[in-house]
Structure 1
């Protein structure tokens, strides 16, 4: 506008005889003045032309241009000489889009005058697709082909899904593997920066990410799970059945039934027919056995006969009632505690600080980190930072961390097929979805969503889930048996075995003479038969001699 005003000023007849660009000079540069300044302003106020941004015109009452912006929408027409841009709409501010004075028709793709009413289609469109490494969603393998060259081969849930979408829609994919050192937040940001057209992977849809990019319909229903080491087996303790009572209490119980046995022996030995016929040692042993049987609730083969003995027996019954009930309760409690030691039941245990924060591993830049900061720590990054899934697995197995958070699908795959000594605790939490990352207000969003919904409705997404996440090569890691194992009471059975052996040895000792006779007959049967015949002969001869003697001694009464 200034240039056109100067041209108009210098071409006027008034300035033909003198220079139109003369100045009044001064020693101070800011005091220089343009001689024709008033005439220049008059020329500027009357200048009017169509510029790049629209009509340009000024007035003496304002320093701004009179008219606002101007745009022209042109349609590409195919003509005999080639391609031609034809103006079909124009915009003048203030105002709206309007038909230009010379109206032209819009020719739509397909060389038709009918405007399209459907969505923009991805068919034939070339897409730069970023994919994220992470079994079983994306398994990356280096293989050697027939020519000896190493090539990258992809497999997994995401790869199968991409092939289904490619066959159904018909787009042309350019696959780009996202760097392994990038966090999920950085990968999502790369779509906003234009590094990828879309990103397909195990990316959780969150409100924070929605502010930057768009997401497709759900390609996988997800939740977070707690992953941890399996609890170690309980160590074998042969005397674990003695733990309900302290050592001093066991000594007191032993001393009590010995003392009660002595007292019972003193009270009953003269009045109880089951005791009086035996020796002192036998009476003492039976009395101690009587007291032991009453304390453990077994009962014995004789009863107290005196009032004092019955009174003492009543005391033993009371003692038995308390001791047996206390032992049973404490033993059951010890076994239950030993069985449940170190088990995390769910996310509430994490929130209740059952595990120190620095023993909880969280992957940086993931939805797990967002959940931890918002729901557990209140924004405090007091967790143990992790940067890869492999680091998570290694540090769980090494005992560096106790638990970590992992997406449900990957967690099931890892504990069922890869790391059998890792397990899942509790139910899923922070339920969400995985979606394909797209630019905001993407032109092809509707076409992509419609085809994803079609895959879900036909059951193809469910087929992929069963293929990659429901195979099990490890034992079931989420079911814990409540049955008491033999190990917990093995000491009791060992003790019983020892007692039974001792009982058998005692039996052999009591029958030692009989066993010795049987063994001698088995080892020397001829000698035994000879001795037996000799013994019979001797008994026969003695019997004959004894008969003869009797006949000699008897008087002859027949002569009387």
Structure 2
């Protein structure tokens, strides 16, 4: 025992008590009531006691009920009756989560700016009983409603005591009121800035960020006598003309030997080529196509022309009816180098930003509303307005079609809510903003009514002109089709007449053979179905005329079937191949009345 006393911390030297088991049994059987409640060991463990649940609100204590292992939460001990509905701190019936920060029932004082020029964001009424409205107010209300605990708050305008319609300082002064503990938070069109974050904490932004310019716009397309040529780019005009001529030549080659409408003097043939192919532009071509290869080429070409025509019509209509504005100034540095004046929103941080971009203070003019923006830009007081994107969108929605937005030229973090440094509400509010944004509820807020078509940004490169890049695939298709049709036609022609050229004269040179092939190709193919059908029609007319009484009386006239009527072309001796072409016009056959009168004349004689 002495050794144990001298080395009381040496557990290995302590021996096993002879009465340890008996002592353990006696302690387990011991039961008594102490200060902390009933003492009783069950399986060598202290039996769980009952707990009283108390709701502490300020200096008051409200008993909620009891908790026991046997009955859980109940109004009385040894009872299974559930407790009544109770209020947690803040007045909410829902129990707060342990990682959430309740407000302990305090009513937050929310400072808001007084901005008569842009009521779309925050609109404060002169009536003290009315509630402020606006986009920022509605977003904050949605955020507070989505928090897992109840928050009571009240808005307090940061107004000038002498003029309630004006703000009592700048936005920096408003945010600084949180540091002075005059406001618990600030809500409004408050931009997240680095200098402001030194004395407040901001939530995540809930609006689009950035600073941009709005400048007067000039119409990109001036309406003049040559506006009709602007829908297509120069390279597309050239490519279209080349393919028009190329397709016309291919069709002429395919039709020249088998179609009488594509024959005649060279001048007429050239005119036929241009008239036929360009008439496809308005689908007014009337020449009959005989060759199947020509039909394939023409079908593909008409499809290309149809798409080209529809695209041209749509682009020209857009140029004549839709105003396409281009900015007069495209770069903020360009504006800084000029002597033009620049406008900005009063009480904002724009003066400091513009001074940092080498703008002289004498060139900066402050405005209070979108109407003042419009007046200054219209009369030339300023060359541009530099402001944040949300303000610019509201301005352009009210004056759509007159100005254009350029930028963004400077990066900012957008609008956010300001709280005291270290406030546990900041992460909760930021999460709520993310949830509302991702769920699409932010888009349902209607106070910020902007027209997306009014602030399409222009970078100077926008154009509705159609380029060759948009149509090169179609031109490739029609080009390949025409070339294949030409090669097939050439192969068929050579297969048909190459033997004639080879065996006609073995002493012909290559040049003479080509000349001979040209002469053969220039003659009509009388064996084709088109010429046979045409010849049968003309011979039928001739036979009908020969059987009529009038034609019988004129049998002695040698010109009846002469060259003057039918223009039967006989090949020259030196042309090498026989041929015949009927290309004249036949006289109209006599009417039935003329034939009857002629018959009566024969009978009377």
TM superposition score category, shorter chain reference: 0.3 to 0.5
Normalised by the size of structure 2, how large is the TM-score? 0.38
Which structure's CA Rg is the greater one?
1
Which is richer in strand?
A: 1
